[in-house]
Structure 1
Amino acid sequence: MSLITDLAQQAKEASKVLAVLPEAKKNAVLKDMAAAIRVNKASIIEVNEKEVARAKENQLDAAMVDRLVLNDARIEDMAAGIETIIELSDPVGQERVIGTRPNGLEIRKMRIPLGVVCMIYEARPNVTADAGALCFKSGNGVILRGGKEALDTSLAIAGLMQNVLEQHGLPKALITVVPNPDRELMQELMEQRGLIDVIIPRGGEGLINYVTDNAKVPVIQHFKGVCHLYVDKEADLEKAMALLLNGKTQRTGVCNALEGLLVHQAIAGDFLPLAAKALAEHNVKIHVNARGAEYFDAADVIGEDAYGEEYLGLEIAVRVVDDLDAAMAHISRFGSNHTEVICTEDSQAAQRFQLAVDASVVMVNASSRFSDGSQLGLGAEIGIATTKLHAYGPMGLESLTTEKYLVNGVGQVRD
């Protein structure tokens, strides 16, 4: 038996144990996992610093290095994320009544785990803790296949979580990190139909496309984050500036950072000079259409078709648009179904934007950086789905479950 098949079979068997574990027991395990991560913070950072140094030596791009780094604050965020999951209601076993049929059959639906979740991700070692905790609380086994850049850190984090599982008499196969990043093993992992129930890839567009094209197991996709801020003619310009700077400069190498700025022509003359000055102070490179170029001293003037880039750095594409309809048309063409923001004091425009724009998260007067599982009250997130089967947007506990029908009768037979 191959390494991958063995890991998948162990995870499948372990998931059966977890599927019936009481919520109180799950929460006790998660509490100890959070504590173990905090207590062993120094050893995690020691391993991580070596991987970050190697990444820099290998000249990985800045966005990738940023995702790889773990420091005190990010490790605390991991532990706190697990504690947030403890506070959330366990979806497993929740029931809802569908109704009673004319023949007397009583129909209900009950939430159940998906089974075994496979995460394939790049340089994000925090995913190990986030995915491990979310899958555990939602009753799923998880197999984690990280990139070679973060493998040692991921193994260190998973090892701590596995120790806690064993201390509670649970199989460590509930949280497994594939110990070898070989591409052939990843391909074999994606072919474990019958053992793995769903694959969630998390990383660059190339990785998502590769997994989608080659997997024999259902895939939940998140291709990229091309997020826009539309500043409406009725916008509060102070609010708009805060949303722009937070969305673009607070952390650039993440999928909920802003990549596009759309400005209504009626307020372009007031807002764009302020935006140009503030973005220049943050060394943000500007790509702008000819219509908006006059507001910037130094900018890359681009054609009307050259939008839709995910920069993951201090760059942004700016466009002056005629009105709300033009802004929504731009988003429809160049957006990535991730997160879209409108800044406006016009409640009707806000309502129309939220209703019409097709994105997993649509915000009014709030930073795109809040498009995150922890910020939306889900605890940690296992990913952000930008396609609609079976989840859309940040995926928390409920997204890691499905429903089965419960049908109760008294001996009815079908005519």
Structure 2
Amino acid sequence: MTSATPLPTLWGDRRIVLGITGGIAAYKLCTVASALAKDQAQVRALLTQTAQQFITPLSFSTLCRHRAYTDADLWADHSPRPLHIELGEWAEVMVIAPLTAQTLAKLALGLADNLLTNTVLASHCPILLAPAMNTDMWEQPIVQHHWQTLLAQPRYHGMAPGSGILACDRQGAGRMVEPATILAHLQSLLHSGGQQDWQHQRVLVTAGGTQEYWDPVRFLGNPATGRMGVALAQAAAHRGAKVTLIQGTGLENEELEAAIAGTSIVCHRVTQAAQMQQQLEALFPQQDWLVMAAAVADLRPTAYSAVKVAKADLATTLPLEPVPDLVATLAQRKQPHQRLIGFAAQSGDIVTPALGKLQRKGLDAIVANPIDQPNSGFGSGWNQAVILDRAGRQRAISPCTKLALAHQILDFCRDLAP
């Protein structure tokens, strides 16, 4: 793990089919197509007839660096095999967005009357669904029945729409998730192959930093953003876990909400270590896993002033006291089925201190990551690490996105000895 280590392409040569249907949110798929193709993915866009009322095939041909397909191509001569068969077998993953009530019903009933639905039935890859429609349409019992019917099938993965002001000026549910949310879930599906291997697991993740105030405007803190912890929460949720996230300081609410959009992640926001401790003590007993990715303060001021201390009255020394070791305390209370995963952000030798922390705190595994290397540590979208467990296993992870690292951490932890 050196600065000379090249960053991998995120989507290089992966085979992705984008199915665009007839909704105003179709324009968001342009951003998805562009991001994928720029990073060397092979992207094929299929537009339904109604999709072309909102956006043109030429737009996707340009962005995908490959011709876009329409229903006219279903009936064209594609010897030796039909186009929908070729595309269905070629795709590693499919995205259908904005998923309309019409296409949702067709998929739930197994109908195939256009190129997109024929390709779905001719494929076996995971399919990612992003609905978008008017609130009243989305909340219709029959629409919800079709939605639940699809989600009950292992190959279908859904990102439920959020709430907001819709194109029809209605305020309510039905707003399609943003491109970044689609891309994150796509990354997860390509890693897992769509397997829900963390299904039925209850996972509690902490993320971000803490701020320990000595008056209303001054505090001790750290630069942790929470992106690594949020990535772990995303990865676990994408693989079927029931996830609860305790987010400390770092990410703004808007970025955090975008990161967990379309998932069932339950999020609690805290600022101080004492607040995180309170949440952990309430939530940990019901969990199977605790992933302690938060950068919790080690020290805090011994006293707090309810009013701002004047500059002239500031002392040259600040009395401090230790913050309770949250994860070590929980390790003493854990049940036999529970697993605790810690983090160690280090400079220089990252393995030796992490091993000591693993044993001292009673953890089942620990993730050591460098804060003095490029493309890793606080604030970066990338990271690298060495993962260690009590049985002596070690796995070094080269620089990758934090979501990719999160999946590799889950792969490692899934095989922890009881």
TM-score, normalising length from structure 2?
A: 0.33
Q: Which has the higher contact order (CA 8 A, sep 6+)?
A: 1
* Structure with greater strand share of residues: 2
TM-score, normalising length from structure 1?
A: 0.33
* Structure with greater helix share of residues: 1
